[in-house]
Amino acid sequence: MQKNPDFIIGSVPIFGRVILSPMDGFSDLPYRSLAREYGSAMSITEFISCIDVVKNYSKAEPLLRFNEEERPIVFQIYDSDPSRILEAALILRGLGPDIIDVNMGCSAQAVVNRGAGAGLLKEPEKIAEIFKKLTSALDIPVTGKIRLGWDKDSINYPLISRIIEENGGKALAVHARTKKQGLRGPADWNAIAEIKNSLRIPVIGNGGIDQVEDIDRMLAETNCDAVMVGRAAIGNPWIFARKDINEVSGDEVRDVVLEHLKRMQVLYGESMGLIRFRKHLKRYLQPFEFNSEAKKELMTTNETSDFISIIKDMFSNFDV
């Protein structure tokens, strides 16, 4: 067992330098716990609306479930109203997360239109107010996840990152693209290096990790404390064990598919678990050239027993 943490967020020791990105619809308890077992250094929830926490708790509740083994567990929240963010954070504090993270990167129209997510990047004073309020009221670390700015003409990460640190933020994750870029185009790793160089709190780099080699390259090129992996981790928890998908055997993929499905069904129930698992399944199967009829059957069956026998059958005839 590793004794010394790789870095510390406030008072929370972090062992490891690769972390599963928060991803709405993907980084729920079943997938986070799997990723954590494969080596993701901490667990971050999908983003959670503060409005839901305060006014519509039953909607937020499923997103807040976690396993003790996932710790450190980070609840990521989003909103544009500093007072409501504080109110939600105080409610969430009661559930025992290790860290609360503020989303300042979501580029979805519905979110930015009301000034939340990346919309906050346009209002640096509000970010200062949010961090001041949260860090004064909470006895656990508060962190942030940002983008580089709204668009290429309004890059403001030097200001935003400084504000977050000055107002008590204990770590910063940087998705090295602008809001305008969405998820496309090159991530500017030089910006991550610049932020790391100018802050004292840990900096987590994010954006453009496609394979294992990129993890070490981002760590080396930016000196960031950890790397956050988003899309390349969907259907690929092995990336946290620093294994590329072409190094994973068919048997391992089959076993993880069945285990992941099982965890989804425990959380969401048998029927909904199977339906929700399909988007993950698509990604697990992507590297394999399976018969398209079998794949279609797998994607449409509502029977768990059929699903399991089709999967076993497919992989029994295949290995990489």
- Binding-site ranges for ligand FMN (CB under 6 A): 21-26, 46-47, 76, 103, 105-106, 145, 175, 183, 206-209, 229-232
Q: How far is the CB of 45 from ligand FMN (least distance, A)?
A: 8
CB nearer to ligand FMN: pick between 201 and 310: 201
One-letter amino acid for residue 245 of the chain? I
For residue 247, the Cα-to-chain-centroid distance in whole angstroms is: 24
Structure token digits, residue 158: 């030097």
Q: How far is the CB of 183 from ligand FMN (least distance, A)?
A: 5
CB nearer to ligand FMN: pick between 111 and 257: 111
CB nearer to ligand FMN: pick between 14 and 232: 232
Q: How far is the CB of 309 from ligand FMN (least distance, A)?
A: 30
Chain position whose Cβ is nearest to ligand FMN: 230
Q: How far is the CB of 303 from ligand FMN (least distance, A)?
A: 28
Q: How far is the CB of 293 from ligand FMN (least distance, A)?
A: 28
CB nearer to ligand FMN: pick between 103 and 236: 103
Q: How far is the CB of 294 from ligand FMN (least distance, A)?
A: 26
Beta pairing, strands 43-44 & 226-229: unpaired
Is position 224 annotated as part of the catalytic site?
A: no
CB nearer to ligand FMN: pick between 208 and 237: 208
CB nearer to ligand FMN: pick between 210 and 313: 210
Beta pairing, strands 12-14 & 7-9: antiparallel
- Per residue, what are the HEC states of the chain? CCCCCCEEECCEEECCCEEECCCCCCCCHHHHHHHHHHCCCCEECCCEEHHHHHHCHHHHHHHHCCCHHHCCEEEEEECCCHHHHHHHHHHHHCCCCCEEEEEECCCCHHHHCCCCHHHHHHCHHHHHHHHHHHHHHCCCCEEEEEECECCHHHECHHHHHHHHHHCCCCCEEEECCCCCCCCCCCCCHHHHHHHHHHCCCCEEEECCCCCHHHHHHHHHHHCCCEEEECHHHCCCHHHHHCCCHHHCCHHHHHHHHHHHHHHHHHHHCHHHHHHHHHHHHHHHHCCCCCCHHHHHHHHHCCCHHHHHHHHHHHHHCCCC
CB 47 within 8 A of CB 24: yes
Catalytic residue among 14, 89, 106, 311: 106
* Active-site annotation, residues: 106
